[in-house]
Amino acid sequence: MQVYLRFTHFSNSSVQAGVMLTNAIAFGFSVAAAVLVYIQRDRFDNIALIGVALNYSFVLPYFLGLYSILTMLLFNGVTSVERVLDFITGDLPQERTWVLPNDPLRSVYPTKGTLSFDQLSLKYRQDLPNVLNDVSFQVEDGETVGIVGRTGAGKSSLIVGLFRIVDRPLMTGSVRLDGIDLGDIGLQTARRALAIIPQTPLLLSPGTIGHNIDPFGHHSVEDVEACMKKVGLHNIHSQASELSAGQQQLLALARLLLFDHVPRVIIMDEPTANIDNQTDANMQRVIREEFQGITMLTIAHRLNTVIHCDKMIVMGAGTIKEMGSPSELLAKEGGRLSNMVSSLGEATATRLKEEAAAAGRRKQRQTGEGGVERKKDQ
């Protein structure tokens, strides 16, 4: 009911505004007619003519109001017909087909999380310049990638191209997941192969936390509460609109934990931009515990959120300026990432460099243990 009233508010307001305007005009005519008759009363020989004049002038507001209502309703109806015709004639841009006959099954795709960006260029309108220019890089299965850069560098545009929010012909190049070009499969198939935790999660208001985590009721209350407990949320019956920005991020994380089939690729679009350090640490803990071996792309404002990633990408003016492990990029004197870290102050820079070095050593140990295990298997 709220949605219906919201969308009919302006339509009803336009009708009522027209009625008020015509009533004001008719009232002016009626008063003018009455004043004129009073002033010129000595010139009228026939009293019946005075009565007819006053009668018609006083009923004018009724007819003008009725005319206004019918006219505004006609305009509103014609506007609706115009919009329907726009859909029928194809003047409005349409999304691509959601599901194609040859799409891979969701239960088996993707089996890995290998992403490949090949000369990806993107613009938001034909008359605008590119926001991405020939971006090419590869993410291996299970790799964590941090994407940083100044505002307007093209970080979020990578996600726009990945989810095909902007599609061909405004986007050129390709994005491949497990070797399959996401542009060659159905739009819904491509998007369901990925998962995202946005900066501002969608909340169903009014609605409880439990309803927002599982809006279609596909899971039991116990499963929903278990996911809430993992991320640190409580009271399933509380209103989601009362949550803070950090708690909303945790709610989005709980939604992801509730998936029957967790995608092999998870994108985090600046999830910690508006949350405190404690909530950030809680979120990072859940990610490490629940999403091991999942390919993860994280767009971040805070360097401490992504300094432990396997790979870092520094964006600038729609291109990749630097790419490599955090320890490698921090070792470059005058490098972009090194300058960004140094600008945070000596104490913070030292701590981030230590965290990057520790993450690099941990990665080397894991790689070495993996190589030993493979040799034993052979």
Selection from 153, 152, 160, 158 nearest residue 136 by Cα: 158
Residue 123 and residue 85 in one domain:
no
Rg for the chain (alpha carbons), in Å?
Answer: 31
- Helix (H), strand (E) at residue 330: helix 326-330
Residue 31 and residue 162 in one domain:
no
Boundary (domain end) residue, out of 22, 55, 89: 89
Boundary (domain end) residue, out of 89, 105, 123: 89
Q: What are the per-10-residue average pLDDT scores of the chain (378 residues)?
A: 71 80 83 81 72 79 81 83 80 81 87 92 91 93 90 89 89 92 92 87 85 88 90 86 83 86 84 68 79 88 83 92 90 88 88 85 71 44
Rounded to whole angstroms, the Cα distance separating 357 from 330 reads 9
Q: What is the pLDDT of residue 124?
A: 92
Q: What is the pLDDT of residue 132?
A: 93
Residue 297 and residue 369 in one domain:
yes
Q: What is the pLDDT of residue 375?
A: 43
Asked if 155 and 149 touch (Cβ cutoff 8 Å), the reply is yes
Residue 33 and residue 154 in one domain:
no
What phi and psi, each to the nearest 5 degrees, are found at residue 119?
50, 50
pTM higher than the cut 0.85: no
Rounded to whole angstroms, the Cα distance separating 320 from 180 reads 23
Q: How far apart are the first and last CA of the chain?
A: 65
Whose tokens are 């029957």? That residue is: 260
In a domain, 186, yes or no: yes
In a domain, 328, yes or no: yes
Pairing between strand 319-324 and 311-316? antiparallel
Whose tokens are 């701590």? That residue is: 351
Boundary (domain end) residue, out of 71, 89, 107: 89
Q: What is the pLDDT of residue 136?
A: 94
- Helix (H), strand (E) at residue 5: helix 2-39
- Helix (H), strand (E) at residue 248: helix 245-257
**Rounded to 5°, angle at Cα 119 from 164 and 262:** 45
Rounded to whole angstroms, the Cα distance separating 302 from 272 reads 8
Residue 85 and residue 124 in one domain:
no
HSE of 172, CA atoms in CB hemisphere, 13 A: 9
Tell me how many domains the chain contains: 2
Domain that holds residue 84: 2-89
